[in-house]
Amino acid sequence: MSAELASLGVRARAAVKTISTSSAAARDQALLVAADLLAARAGTLLDANQADRRAAAAVGMAPAALDRLTLDEARIEAMAEGLRRVAALADPVGEVVDGWVRPNGLRVQRVRVPLGVVGVIYENRPNVTSDAAGLCLKSGNVAFLRGSSSALRSNQAVVAVLREALDKAGLPADAVLLVEDTSHATALEFMRLRGVIDCLVPRGGRELIELLLEHATVPYVLDGDGNCHVYVDAAADLDMALDIVVNAKTQRPGVCNAAESLLIHRAVAAEFLPRAAEALAGVELRGDAATLALVPGATPATEADYATEFLGLCLSVAVVDDLDAAIAHIERYGSGHTEAIVTQDLAAAQRFVREVDAAAVVVNASTRFADGGELGLGAEVGISTQKLHARGPMGLRELTCAKWVVWGEGQTRT
Q: Residues in the site for a second copy, rule: CB under 8 A?
A: 16-17, 20-21, 100, 102, 106, 108, 113, 115-116, 194, 198-199, 213-214, 217, 219, 221, 237, 240, 243-244, 246-248, 251, 331, 349, 353-355, 357-366, 368-370, 374-376, 386-389, 391-393, 401-414
Distance (Å, rounded) from C-alpha 384 to C-alpha 21? 27
What's the DSSP call for residue 145?
A: E
Distance (Å, rounded) from C-alpha 279 to C-alpha 239? 11
| Nearest distance, CB of residue 323 and a second copy, angstroms | 13
For a second copy, the closer of residues 297 and 408 by Cβ is 408
For a second copy, the closer of residues 123 and 198 by Cβ is 198
Distance (Å, rounded) from C-alpha 229 to C-alpha 337? 9
For a second copy, the closer of residues 102 and 206 by Cβ is 102
| Nearest distance, CB of residue 243 and a second copy, angstroms | 5
Phi–psi pair at 262, nearest 5 degrees: -115, 125
For a second copy, the closer of residues 42 and 307 by Cβ is 307
Specify the amino acid at residue 305: D
Distance (Å, rounded) from C-alpha 51 to C-alpha 53? 5
- Contact at 8 Å (CB) between 280 and 289? no
Distance (Å, rounded) from C-alpha 118 to C-alpha 114? 9
Q: How many CB atoms lie within 10 A of CB 312?
A: 12
For a second copy, the closer of residues 20 and 261 by Cβ is 20
Longest dimension (CA), the chain: 79
For a second copy, the closer of residues 203 and 389 by Cβ is 389
What's the DSSP call for residue 324?
A: H
- Contact at 8 Å (CB) between 138 and 90? no
For a second copy, the closer of residues 53 and 265 by Cβ is 265
In order, the DSSP letters of 193-219 are -TTT-SEEEEES-HHHHHHHHHH--S-
| Nearest distance, CB of residue 329 and a second copy, angstroms | 14
- Contact at 8 Å (CB) between 199 and 119? yes
For a second copy, the closer of residues 63 and 410 by Cβ is 410
For a second copy, the closer of residues 35 and 259 by Cβ is 259
| Nearest distance, CB of residue 259 and a second copy, angstroms | 11
| Nearest distance, CB of residue 38 and a second copy, angstroms | 28
| Nearest distance, CB of residue 70 and a second copy, angstroms | 26
Distance (Å, rounded) from C-alpha 171 to C-alpha 342? 50
Give the 3-state DSSP-derived string for 94-129, with helices as H, strands as E and coil as C.
CCEEEEEECCCCCEEEEEEEECCEEEEEECCCCHHH
| Nearest distance, CB of residue 411 and a second copy, angstroms | 4
| Nearest distance, CB of residue 390 and a second copy, angstroms | 8
| Nearest distance, CB of residue 213 and a second copy, angstroms | 5
β-bridge pairing 176-178 and 228-232? unpaired
